[in-house]
Structure 1
Amino acid sequence: MALVCLAGLLGFDLLTSPNIRIGGLMVAVPALSATFLAPGEVLFVVLLTLLSVAVAAISNDTLGTEAFPVSFATVALISVASVVTASVRQRRERELAQSRWVATVMQDLLLRPLPRRLGPLSISSVYIAAEEEANIGGDVYAAAVTPGSVRVMVGDVQGKGLGAVEVVAYLLSAFRQAARNGTALAELPDFLDRSLRDELVDVQATSDDAPDSVSRRRALEGFVTAVIVEFREGEDVVRIANRGHPPPLLIRQDKVLPLDPMESALPLGLGDLGAGEHHVDTYELAVGDRLLLYTDGVIEARDATGRFYPLADRVARWTDRDSDEVLQAIQSDMLRHVGARPTDDVAMVAVQRMV
């Protein structure tokens, strides 16, 4: 494309009257080529451009004028700058590619794909990062097997960026450790809360020169809303521990019911601000029933008029579909509702009891 433009400009200059001089436009060719060609290719275009400028000057009888060295030097300087620009662009493209690769590896390490089948449960999931170039954000999901039960967690970390991803790593590590230790569901939120606060305090203490009390206060500003559901073998119920998270939706035949917690609780990371044991809610869960766990990025998605996405109402339209189709329908419908990429991360997990 660059060579075609250069040839066209040179041909027009040679075929028209000497009074019409467009040789100066040739300087645009190296500048434009720097946006899409490699440095070596831009250098080749530069050499041809300088040659074309000289040929045009000969054709127009301007080669021996006092203005030609100035114009030629201008073209040469801009051409050199174009080569440098192409080099910088290529280096940044490589850095971006490396960052994407790191993000992909991080996603594989942190957000491990949930198994399609875990014990008596069928599991489907969807994750949408708010930032277009990111593979992972501040939302998190995980599943774990404990003696006699299966647990699924969905959480939402306060904030965005690498700091949120770091908190995600802490939370997932503590969740899996609790499963290995056999921590009871009633004790799990407090275990996660303590583990998360300890990690945040340690990180802040090593990165802040302020006194320990200040470091601790700053660290505790981070928190995570989370909901954990547990299914025990041989029981027809699901137990739910909710720490400030949107309530799961129970999909039973053609009905959609929000499972609001009986008692409110603080998000993880703020546990020392409130005392008392955490309440675990119990709900009937028959064979074929489904639970939809999600983050607030779904229900807080707004359209152009500011209306929130009506998740429960929309899900009621798709109760006859399987879990994968329901999640895909929600994703497509939510994106149409917003009219663009969501401004917050979105995570959804559908869990269905099969036996």
Structure 2
Amino acid sequence: MRSLFRSDRQPGAGGPSRVLFRLAQYVPFVIILLGLGVELSAAHWVYTGPLLTAMPALASLTMGPKGTLSAAAGALAVSVTTATLHDAWDGQQIYSNLLGLLVVSVASVTTSNAVRTQRQRELNQLRRIATTAQEVLLRPVPARLGPLQAASMYLAAEAGAQIGGDLYEAVQTRYGIRVIMGDVRGKGLPAVRSAAVVLGAFREAAHYEDELLGVIDHCAAALRRESTMPGTGTDTDTDNDTNWEDVAESFVTVLVAEVPDAPQVLLVNRGHPPPMLLRQGKAQALVPTTTLPPLGLEDFITGPPAKAESYPFAPGDRLLLHTDGVIEARNPANDFFDLAETMEAVRPSPPSEFLEQLHQELIHHTNGRLVDDVAMLILDRLDDEAAGPSSDAASAP
């Protein structure tokens, strides 16, 4: 999902707006060249001085101090050139124009610098807020969880992104290690709000619900309550204000896993990409036998109640949970990223190093241009001797 906060986003970035913004930056210099053309033509009797004087102020609207000074220098060059060619240095008018140009230039540069400083201060504040929100929403998973070693990684599609619709968490409970990986279909604040709601519900229910299905049902109920609250943009009780397109797209794909003491892993998949199991150098996707819709689309569930599916997860196995930003990443030739092949090719290493190698391979595949945010969480099953007593005691409400 696209992230909420982009620290490298420029004014007018994106599509036609960006083109218009770029064109606006050239306007002062085009006018200066037109003024020069008038002064060098037979129509040099047209008075262009006031027009040139205003160019630094016009440039300051779309450019910083350097661009404003460049426009001032251009206007000054035209004024001096025409005064010299037309022998106008003996008149008061040229000196008035030059003085006006100086005053306007100084004022424009000062104002432009002050505005830029203020914007940078606001941007730094937004960065601090976004970083704090990310630490609460997507905190790194513990390196050790009972019989598991773990690591997580979040990659933004654009530099400086902080918060998005991807979510993950891993907690140690009396039922075993419970993990969630999800992806909100949406954008902006609604996506962040949905991610926070699902994560909050999981962090609570993981400790109290006996069954894994109960955990995911708790998350679904929390999301449903949030989506029907007034002011969220998806209140189904106010038909006039409801954007049904947003309602159709505001769902969350999630994968919930439980690793008990036995050498197995239980999975409930609600429309999410299946996890990858790496065993003895071979990677395979744990594809669910029953297809279930994402959270928020419970009306599409038919047939008997679903059950958590069990898969072998023995010591030495490695489980990778991820969002679709990994498997849908494309190279310039439009080929998808082959996650299974890459996992098999990456050299054996601890979880955090393994994720970093996957990160580098993903960046290499896309030439450094991710089009979607990426979240990955890795779980290594340790043998009994390596596992030993965990420093993280299981929570027992």
- Which residue in 1 is equivalent to 2:211? 184
Does the 8 A contact of 1:189 with 1:278 survive in 2? no
Q: Cα gap change, 1:210/1:243 in structure 2, threshold over 3 Å: closer, same or farther?
A: closer
Q: Cα gap change, 1:260/1:28 in structure 2, threshold over 3 Å: closer, same or farther?
A: same
- Which residue in 1 is equivalent to 2:102? 75
Structure 2 portions without partners, runs of 5+: 1-51, 70-75, 384-397
Report the AA paired with residue 372 of structure 2: D
- Which residue in 2 is equivalent to 1:157? 184
- Which residue in 2 is equivalent to 1:296? 324
CA RMSD across the alignment: 3.4
Structure 1 portions without partners, runs of 5+: 1-24, 43-48
Query: C-alpha displacement at 1:87, in angstroms?
Result: 1.2
Give the alignment partner of residue 144 of structure 2, picking from 117, 129, 139. 117
Give the alignment partner of residue 354 of structure 1, picking from 382, 385, 389. 382
1:93-132 equivalence runs, <5 A: 93-132=120-159
Give the alignment partner of residue 315 of structure 1, picking from 343, 346, 349. 343
Query: C-alpha displacement at 1:264, in angstroms?
Result: 0.7
Residue 343 in structure 1 maps to residue 371 in structure 2 = yes
Q: SS at the partner of 2:364?
A: helix
Does the 8 A contact of 2:276 with 2:340 survive in 1? yes
- Which residue in 1 is equivalent to 2:8? none
- Deviating 4+ runs (over 3 angstroms): 27-38, 60-65, 203-210, 212-221
Q: Cα gap change, 1:248/1:211 in structure 2, threshold over 3 Å: closer, same or farther?
A: same
Does the 8 A contact of 1:157 with 1:224 survive in 2? yes
Structure having greater relative contact order (Cα 8 Å, sep ≥ 6): 2
Query: C-alpha displacement at 1:287, in angstroms?
Result: 0.8
Query: C-alpha displacement at 1:32, in angstroms?
Result: 9.9
1:176-215 equivalence runs, <5 A: 176-204=203-231, 211=238, 215=242
Distance in 1 (alpha carbons) for counterparts of 2:232 and 2:136: 26
Does the 8 A contact of 1:31 with 1:82 survive in 2? no
Report the AA paired with residue 293 of structure 1: L
Report the AA paired with residue 308 of structure 1: F
Query: C-alpha displacement at 1:304, in angstroms?
Result: 1.0
Distance in 2 (alpha carbons) for counterparts of 1:37 and 1:224: 42
Does the 8 A contact of 1:201 with 1:216 survive in 2? no
Query: C-alpha displacement at 1:237, in angstroms?
Result: 0.8
Does the 8 A contact of 1:244 with 1:266 survive in 2? yes
Give the alignment partner of residue 144 of structure 1, picking from 147, 171, 193. 171
Percent identical residues: 38
